[in-house]
Amino acid sequence: MCGIIGITSSKPVSSSILHSLKKLEYRGYDSAGIATIDNGIINEIKSLGRVDVLEKNISQINLSGEVGIGHVRWATHGIPSTINAHPHSNENISVVHNGIIENSVILKKSLINKGHKFKSETDTEVIVHLLSEYLKSNELNNAIIKTLNDLDGSFALGIIFKDMPNIIVGARRGSPLAVGYGPNENYLGSDSYALKSMTNKITYLNDGEFCIIKKDEINFYDYMGNKVNKKILQLSTNEQNYEKGEYKHFMAKEINEQPLTIKNCVNEYIDKINNEINLHNFPWKKENIKSIKLIGCGTAFHSCLIGKYWFEELTNIDVDIDIASEFRYRKNRFKEDCLYIFVSQSGETADTYAALDLCKKNKMKTCSIVNVVESSIARDSDFVLPIHCGPEIGVASTKAFLGQMMVIYLLCLKISYLKNNIKKSDYNKKIKNLDLLSEKVKKTIFDENQIQTISNTFSKAKGSMFLGRGFSFPIALEGALKLKELAYIHAEGYPAGEMKHGPLALIEDGMPVVVVAPKDQYYKKTISNMQEVIARGAKVLLVTNKDDDQIVSENIWKKIEIDTVEKDLYPFLTTLPLQQLAYYTALKKGFDIDKPRNLAKSVTVE
């Protein structure tokens, strides 16, 4: 989950590399470094901590050079330290790496026996020594091919050479890598976001490919060294959504962008004149889809879980869900009539991509729901459904979660209608209800004063529980995840009916418990479970919809009321106060909200 950048130019590159590294900090931020080539010498500077620290250190020296590479790290092998920070260099080669080299221990032993001396604890350093060894008796392309063949695991690499001071080598297996084209300079980066301020002309390396980049020429090669031609993509140059603007944090901005997320998604997929959901170029006949499997990680998995409830409620299709990191290691029984749906914000999530790759190898039907349409998962899927929510920079996902849910819901509605599982009148009504959702989301978000007060109690808690039934159970899981991610408070999401089967033992006097209970078919049962928690001394925060109700106990600590909507749509509203609760609790505790500890945005390692 590291970020890499490389630039070869006709002018000094260190300032441009620093600018790109700041954009890449969502991929890692425990250390950073830059290496450039100047006058036949590799100049390297590395710092523990954020890119700001690196920038201060660089300002004290003159880091010149027209070819360079940079890196922000999310530690895998070796603790965060200056020595373990990238780039890793010897006198001839400097390397930046995103991924994991799984056979690094074996390779390291072999290289030590040949006289190589290692400085760091990282797996990456073996690449430096391995490539140096092969360059003793091979020209560049063959040395690259031999090195890549020896590596097990995943990688995106940027490499510079003292004796070839005008080139950068990029290579990819598993981890994403983009190449950018500019006037008299060219670029290498983990993704288009890092390159977008410099160019909107991008090419992506496919698995197994490598490239040799000069300031005025780029050549691409397959894993055997054969030249390949690549398509250049023209990306939007709009940078507005990449800045915080008036907001203190990207997460605050992205929470407040959720009404627009819903509106954009609805506008993209719904033909309002004909009151119809359009899934253009859907490649399969309805009779050829008899089951569905939804696959994702983290927040994306929670959207899959909500999707399971929707598909069960609205269709007669068999539906299952899977955590991507478990999927590829199980003995899967692939079915030709199953549609495998992969959900990922970045479209680069390593576990999800590996699950997709396994399905492709078994010739299954694959569909991806992603935010980045140029991503690896999108490019390798048979069919892509973008969520249209714009860049999401904050590590804790908010608007992408709503976008994922919306696209899954629209797909569910469409399949339900095509298979005659829902009446035309009900189908039309549900589509029209979506037109009102954006305003209801907006109204819910702006009612936040109460949540700021409630966050005081959560900021002092050592643990909490989030409970829900039906559609609200995945929202409870997501609420607990947000509190863990941002406020570093132990939080459990649980089915409300399961409390008495063990977790009730955790409840103690004053413990904050969130109960998600909109007035749907599960409401009365959830309220009964809530009473059990109150009886054990918990301080219950009830999230429900506005209504006159005599069932709710007067012993409730706090209540947050959302608007009443069709029961299918409650997840879009109940998740909002939980996002805000996590945000304000973390704010009260003084934590870095956009960059929570130990986490990164795009999880590109297994």
Task: List active site positions.
Answer: 2, 601
**Packing angle, helices 399-418 and 298-314, rounded to 10:** 30
Sign, CA dihedral 146-149-152-157, equals: positive
Give the ranges where 346-490 is alpha helix by DSSP (H). Answer: 350-361, 376-380, 399-418, 424-434, 437-446, 449-459, 472-487
Q: What is the dihedral of CA 494, 500, 503, 507, to 10 degrees?
A: 110
> β-pairing, 201-204 with 210-214?
unpaired
DSSP of 25-38: GGG--SEEEEEEEE
463's tokens: 């643990």
Q: CA 354 to CA 54: how far, in whole Å?
A: 34
Q: Tokens for 314?
A: 């609205």
In single-letter form, the type of residue at position 328 comes to R
Other C-beta atoms lying within 10 Å of the C-beta of residue 153: 16
Please give the backbone phi and psi of residue 342, each rounded to the nearest 5 degrees, phi first: -110, 125
Paired with 162 in beta bridges are: none
* Residue 567 burial (C-beta neighbours within 10 Å; 0-12, 13-18, 19+): middle
Asked if residues 251 and 398 have their Cβ atoms less than 8 Å apart, the reply is yes
**Rounded CA separation 261/275 (Å):** 20
Cα end-to-end distance, the chain, whole Å = 9
What six digits make up the tokens of 476? 């409870």
Q: What distances in angstroms separate CA 341 from CA 176, 353, 428, one per listed residue?
A: 20, 11, 25
**Smallest Cα–Cα separation from 176: which of 201, 139, 209, 137?**
209
